[in-house]
Chain A
Amino acid sequence: MLAQKLHLLRHNFLSFVSSRTGSDLTRRQYDVIVVGGGHAGTEAAAAAARLGAETLLITQKITTIGALSCNPSLGGVGKGQLVREVDALDGLCGRAGDWAGVHFSILNRSKGPAVWGPRAQLDRERYRQFIQSELLSTPRLTVLEGSVDELLVSQPNPEEPGHHRVTGIRLVDGSHPILSSSVVLTTGTFLSGSLFMGQTTSPGGRIGDVPSCAGLSYTLKETLGLRVGRLRTGTPPRIVKESVDLSLAQLQAPDKQPTPFSFLNTHTRCKPEEQLPCYLTHTTPGVETVVRESVHLNCHIQQDTKGPRYCPSIESRVLRFPGRRHQVWLEPEGLTSDLLYPQGLSMTMPPDLQLRLLREIPALHRAEIRTPGYGVQYDFVCPTQLTPSLQVKSTQGLFLAGQINGTTGYEEAAAQGLWAGVNAGRTALSLPPMALSRTQSYIGVLIDDLVGRGVTEPYRMFTSRAEFRTYLRPDNADLRLTPRGFEEVGCVTLRRYEKAVSVRDGLQEALMALQSVALSSTRWREKLGNISLSENKSTTLKCSIGSGLWLGHSDFQRHVPKPLLHCLGCVLRIVVLPCH
């Protein structure tokens, strides 16, 4: 499957970009305009286009579309579920992860399939390439480089609720407005964003990018009267790999056999043996000393009087939980990158002190910093002002997704982006908006929490937020969402739908076939190892669809009863339920 994707990745994709952007932009009207090319924006644009809407994606720099601006990883516990669900609805990030991953592991293997967390370290360059090539080959999707100056609004459609209606956007260059009945804003940390490092503050949403969105900010706050709040986040310094003494850190190997995120993929692009390791090390008391000594030089932390409940930076960890050892993960940034990403060391102190702090950790005693860590403060729109379709309640056709809604994380952004894109597309095509239930998906939990409860700290997905966690498993996301995504929502392509249906039918068939086999419990144990079975002379297995705990066992495939031979492909997803 992945091999088929290869031909899509054009080596000359940048020249391809220009052919659909800039000067020869002839259209002045689109069904959907998406502002922002991050995780939310790319999923939104792709989803709207899949739905059949003529879509325009506007981003400041085409080269940063699909950039991983913080950690080089995707998935994890809770987040992995979101990636699987985005993939089940035919989103991009799962396949991009399979294409760009260099270290795959399933977290929580020992804790029950509902909370397994598929995760991967990514090659930044590959991820960007995949997303860009995917977007640029999506029919009905145009990408435009530019900065949005103003959101155009007019009187609302009186038949629907709301005080305003979106009619399009105007770019900074002052050219003609571009009209659209749906606009998705995914401006991330750029809404009144300011960067913090030590005692210096500068406007911006990401280092190296020009600040923007001043006009948008004004429209949202003043024209539309939306309530905004302020949140903060941060990123660690990037370390030169050569300068790290990895022999002093603990090697963390990936899974021997990488598990793809996407239901379409049977294997990842990275071969098992090509995977890169991660390293684990710990903070020392010296780190605590540097943090304490630098507090007065650290604007970001000083303002952090009423910060989030969790500890976003090493400063807050040390100050909140003193006298402890904290974990630091050294993660690869890609196959060809010479950098390491120190997960857990997000910091905002002055650069010279950042270096001092790093060097207090044995493995980093000679470490060199390529780019220092920094903090970002930005505005978010209180998400209780949104509907479950992620439309602003007061403004018809205006959708928000990603960090602008107060969330943190790529996966959370991608999930909202996809759903905002779906509804922007539906609105443009005069279809009624749709909501996902929290009983059926993590995306539903995420959106329901946001629009129902609001946020006071950056919202991150945890499995503990899902009341129906044991059903919302990563392994069944396709069965839960793909058929619905095709039949009702319209965001799933036929190819994926057919695959999901054949998997669903195959599983049913395999289940039935398996349950028709009756063997003595001794014989079953010979085949399956020590499982709990009722002690009848002849017994069938009690099975269900889940993540293969037993039947995926290679021994089983050797001893498989004959009626099951033709469903071997499916047995990986069937579990034998223990007898109680």
Chain B
Amino acid sequence: MLPCTSWGLWRSAILTLKTFRASPSRRGLCIPTRAVCDAETIFALSSGHGRCGVAVVRVSGPASSMVLRNMAGLTQALPSPRTALLRRITDPQSKELLDRGLVLWFQGPHSFTGEDSAEFHIHGGPAVITAVLQALGSLEGVRPAEAGEFTRRAFHAGKLGLTEVEGLGDLIHAETEAQRRQALRQMDGELGRLYQDWGYRLKRCLAHVEAFIDFSEDELIEDGVLNQVDSSVRQLEAEIERHLKDERRGERLRSGVQVVIAGATNAGKSSLLNTLCQRPAAIVSPIAGTTRDIVETSLDIGGFPVLLSDTAGLRDSSDSVEREGVRRARQRVEQADLTLVVVDSTQLPPDPQLVPAFLQEHLSTVLPSPSPEAGMEAASDRVLLVLNKSDLVPEEQRERTEGELRESTGLPPACFLSCYTSTGLEDFLTVLQSRVKTLCGDPLSGAPSLTQARHRAHLQQSVQALIQYHQYRDQDLALAAEGVRLALTHLGRITGRVGAEEILDIIFRDFCIGK
């Protein structure tokens, strides 16, 4: 994890340094003693490992131009920035030819890290890569990068915000289309901008409360400053609450929708898993109680990531291993985003009219009893009924049952399906996909969504702290201000720390404060 708390500190150090450079002769300016720039130059293979057509090796740091000159045989000027140049790449010591490839020069601050950088696009054979990396390592002041170091430098240089860094991490790890879209959107800074905006408004609220505390007795602080803060805090609270009430869509898209297959023994749960992932991931046998542990597999359903788990069939058993399996199955169902309740169609009552009541009864044995706040409706959103082995039910009975199920209310959608013949699979997949899509939300529409549990926790604590503001507002303004400070600290865990100086900046800008 990145050292997010040092963000404000770094930024202010950098700003101070810039001011200093702009007016070196000015007196009265103290330079912070903390060192700002990473003096070392780093390199790393930036493309994946293994044999490939082209591999990219990146170099960043003050010695980048030296590296480029030495390795690409550039005696005169550097290539113009961001222009590819075909060069012979040689070992700086032995002058031996290592490869022929493209080199690029990025002059700081116009680079990913904000430092001087260079890139070598070489052939992707392991021997070529090793030779180039070894040659780089032989240069003085140049060392291999640590994991994530390029990004860390970009972060410290202010090229990326924390949420953008997290988005970048997600983009690199994105496996499905929708994940890629969400990550890209986050990396563009859209989520960061949303949080930054809240941070800015909260900072202003705090500054105004602090101004009122520190200066209202001596200075003219306009009336109504606190009333404005009251309404701003209330509005922020509402906005963050709304953002939090997204049913965890963004996080789900990031980490995958938890879909759990559950039901009685021998209903065909493992067959469904194998059918969905199109390989024999779980052992299938006619013996009841074959699956005992959880079998997990990840799937891409219509661009959305799904984590599918097969569970032990639910029944009372004297076998202690199976009992543990059932316990785990029930636990999984409780944590599931979506439960596929598999029912053996041959076990349905022959009279179609009795089927809805039968299924209702059956669901209550499979699903955990609904908590009071989440009504039956919410539960039926999270459940799909899969009526398996439809090939063993007469066509006419199936159709009448389907008709009956369409009429009945309060039941989750049900699909007849045969894992054996794949009949009904298409229809089921369509229903499943639309459910998964609803659970993840459209990553491109509306406000950017919350993508990480970490963000959620801090935002929740932020809202809690804002409630403290209202609680103490009329009794003790110092305690109320503490609420806003706390809220800002929590938000700062996402957007970067806010120091006392920043608050004072706003105070002195917005109010006329004398000596």
Indicate, yes or no, whether A interacts with B: yes
How long is the Cα–Cα vector from A159 to B468 in the complex, in angstroms?
52
How long is the Cα–Cα vector from A230 to B515 in the complex, in angstroms?
17
CB contact between B27 and one of A114, A230, A329, A346 (< 8 Å): that residue: A230
CB contact between B28 and one of A231, A325, A327, A463 (< 8 Å): that residue: A231
Q: Would A464 and B30 count as touching, CB distance under 8 A?
A: no
Q: Would A456 and B213 count as touching, CB distance under 8 A?
A: no
Interface residues of B in 100-134 (CB under 8 A from A): none
Q: Would B505 and A309 count as touching, CB distance under 8 A?
A: yes
Q: Would B30 and A462 count as touching, CB distance under 8 A?
A: no
Is B471 an interface position by the 8 A CB rule?
yes
Is B99 an interface position by the 8 A CB rule?
no
Is A373 an interface position by the 8 A CB rule?
no
Residue of A nearest to B506 (CB): A309
Given A229-B29, A327-B218, decide whether A77 and B213 contact each other with a Cβ distance below 8 A: yes
How long is the Cα–Cα vector from A177 to B297 in the complex, in angstroms?
85
Chain B residues with CB below 8 A from A111, complex form: 212-213, 476-478
How long is the Cα–Cα vector from A109 to B344 in the complex, in angstroms?
74
Q: Would A454 and B512 count as touching, CB distance under 8 A?
A: no
How long is the Cα–Cα vector from A456 to B28 in the complex, in angstroms?
6
Is B508 an interface position by the 8 A CB rule?
yes
Interface residues of B in 441-478 (CB under 8 A from A): 471-472, 475-478
Is A469 an interface position by the 8 A CB rule?
yes
Q: Would A578 and B475 count as touching, CB distance under 8 A?
A: yes
Q: Would A310 and B30 count as touching, CB distance under 8 A?
A: no
Is B300 an interface position by the 8 A CB rule?
no
Q: Would A317 and B514 count as touching, CB distance under 8 A?
A: yes
Is B395 an interface position by the 8 A CB rule?
no
CB contact between A464 and one of B471, B475, B504 (< 8 Å): that residue: B504
Interface residues of A in 305-329 (CB under 8 A from B): 306, 309-313, 317, 320-321, 324-327, 329
Chain A residues with CB below 8 A from B472, complex form: 112
Is A244 an interface position by the 8 A CB rule?
no
Is B210 an interface position by the 8 A CB rule?
yes
Chain A residues with CB below 8 A from B28, complex form: 229-231, 380, 456
Contact indicator per residue, chain B 17-61, by CB within 8 Å of chain A (1) or not (0): 000000000111111110000000000000000000000000000
How long is the Cα–Cα vector from A110 to B480 in the complex, in angstroms?
13
How long is the Cα–Cα vector from A10 to B33 in the complex, in angstroms?
49
Is A428 an interface position by the 8 A CB rule?
no
Residue of A nearest to B474 (CB): A110
Residue of A nearest to B505 (CB): A309
How long is the Cα–Cα vector from A460 to B512 in the complex, in angstroms?
15
Q: A529 → chain B, closest Cβ, in Å?
A: 14
How long is the Cα–Cα vector from A448 to B214 in the complex, in angstroms?
20
Contact indicator per residue, chain B 184-227, by CB within 8 Å of chain A (1) or not (0): 00000000000000000000000000101111111110000000
Q: Would A455 and B479 count as touching, CB distance under 8 A?
A: no
Chain A residues with CB below 8 A from B218, complex form: 76-77, 107, 327, 329
Counting chain B CB atoms within 10 Å of each CB, the highest count among A227, A325, A465 belongs to A465
Chain B residues with CB below 8 A from A463, complex form: 210, 213-214, 478
Given A309-B509, A310-B515, decide whether A108 and B213 contact each other with a Cβ distance below 8 A: yes
How long is the Cα–Cα vector from A382 to B505 in the complex, in angstroms?
21
Is A408 an interface position by the 8 A CB rule?
yes
Residue of B nearest to A227 (CB): B30
CB contact between B478 and one of A112, A310, A578 (< 8 Å): that residue: A112
Chain B residues with CB below 8 A from A233, complex form: 515
CB contact between A228 and one of B27, B213, B513 (< 8 Å): that residue: B27
Q: Would A77 and B214 count as touching, CB distance under 8 A?
A: yes
Chain B residues with CB below 8 A from A467, complex form: 485, 500
Chain B residues with CB below 8 A from A114, complex form: 476, 478-479
Q: Would A321 and B512 count as touching, CB distance under 8 A?
A: yes
How long is the Cα–Cα vector from A384 to B513 in the complex, in angstroms?
26
Interface residues of A in 84-142 (CB under 8 A from B): 107-108, 110-115, 117
Interface residues of A in 375-391 (CB under 8 A from B): 380, 382-384
Q: B208 → chain A, closest Cβ, in Å?
A: 11
Q: Would A309 and B504 count as touching, CB distance under 8 A?
A: yes
Chain A residues with CB below 8 A from B27, complex form: 228-230
Q: A192 → chain B, closest Cβ, in Å?
A: 10
Q: Would B512 and A465 count as touching, CB distance under 8 A?
A: no
Counting chain A CB atoms within 10 Å of each CB, the highest count among B212, B501, B508, B515 belongs to B515
CB contact between A580 and one of B217, B471, B478 (< 8 Å): that residue: B471
How long is the Cα–Cα vector from A454 to B501 in the complex, in angstroms?
12
Is B482 an interface position by the 8 A CB rule?
yes
Interface residues of B in 486-508 (CB under 8 A from A): 500-501, 503-505, 507-508
Chain B residues with CB below 8 A from A229, complex form: 27-30
Is A154 an interface position by the 8 A CB rule?
no
Q: Would B514 and A464 count as touching, CB distance under 8 A?
A: no
How long is the Cα–Cα vector from A282 to B480 in the complex, in angstroms?
31
Q: Would B476 and A112 count as touching, CB distance under 8 A?
A: yes
How long is the Cα–Cα vector from A321 to B509 in the complex, in angstroms?
10
Q: A193 → chain B, closest Cβ, in Å?
A: 14
Chain B residues with CB below 8 A from A344, complex form: 514
Is A289 an interface position by the 8 A CB rule?
no
Chain A residues with CB below 8 A from B219, complex form: 327
Residue of B nearest to A473 (CB): B478
Q: A254 → chain B, closest Cβ, in Å?
A: 13
Q: Would A462 and B514 count as touching, CB distance under 8 A?
A: no
Chain B residues with CB below 8 A from A228, complex form: 27
Q: B338 → chain A, closest Cβ, in Å?
A: 40
Q: Would B512 and A115 count as touching, CB distance under 8 A?
A: no
Q: Would B482 and A470 count as touching, CB distance under 8 A?
A: yes
Contact indicator per residue, chain A 323-348, by CB within 8 Å of chain B (1) or not (0): 01111010000000000000110100
How long is the Cα–Cα vector from A360 to B214 in the complex, in angstroms?
29
How long is the Cα–Cα vector from A36 to B30 in the complex, in angstroms?
25
Residue of B nearest to A380 (CB): B28
Given A309-B504, A456-B30, decide whether A464 and B512 contact each other with a Cβ distance below 8 A: no
Q: Would A462 and B512 count as touching, CB distance under 8 A?
A: no
How long is the Cα–Cα vector from A456 to B480 in the complex, in angstroms?
30
How long is the Cα–Cα vector from A464 to B480 in the complex, in angstroms?
13
Is A453 an interface position by the 8 A CB rule?
yes
Q: B500 → chain A, closest Cβ, in Å?
A: 5
Is A198 an interface position by the 8 A CB rule?
no
Q: Would A309 and B508 count as touching, CB distance under 8 A?
A: yes
How long is the Cα–Cα vector from A77 to B500 in the complex, in angstroms?
16
Given A317-B512, A346-B515, decide whether A455 and B30 contact each other with a Cβ distance below 8 A: yes
Chain B residues with CB below 8 A from A408, complex form: 515
Q: Would B32 and A78 count as touching, CB distance under 8 A?
A: no
Residue of A nearest to B209 (CB): A464
Residue of A nearest to B503 (CB): A464
Contact indicator per residue, chain A 456-500, by CB within 8 Å of chain B (1) or not (0): 100010111101011000000000000000000000000000000
Q: B18 → chain A, closest Cβ, in Å?
A: 14
Q: A69 → chain B, closest Cβ, in Å?
A: 14
Chain A residues with CB below 8 A from B477, complex form: 110-112, 115
How long is the Cα–Cα vector from A392 to B148 in the complex, in angstroms?
39
Known: A77-B217, A324-B512, A469-B478. 7 other contacts (CB 8 A): A108-B213, A110-B477, A229-B29, A455-B30, A464-B210, A467-B500, A578-B475
Residues of B within 8 A of A (CB): 26-33, 210, 212-220, 471-472, 475-480, 482, 485, 500-501, 503-505, 507-509, 512-515
Between-chain CB contacts (< 8 Å), 5 pairs: A107-B218, A112-B476, A384-B32, A453-B501, A464-B500
Residues of A within 8 A of B (CB): 76-78, 107-108, 110-115, 117, 227-231, 233-234, 306, 309-313, 317, 320-321, 324-327, 329, 343-344, 346, 380, 382-384, 408, 453-456, 460, 462-465, 467, 469-470, 578, 580
List the 10 closest A-B pairs by CB distance, nearest first. A229-B28, A454-B30, A112-B476, A112-B478, A309-B508, A464-B210, A114-B478, A382-B30, A321-B512, A111-B477
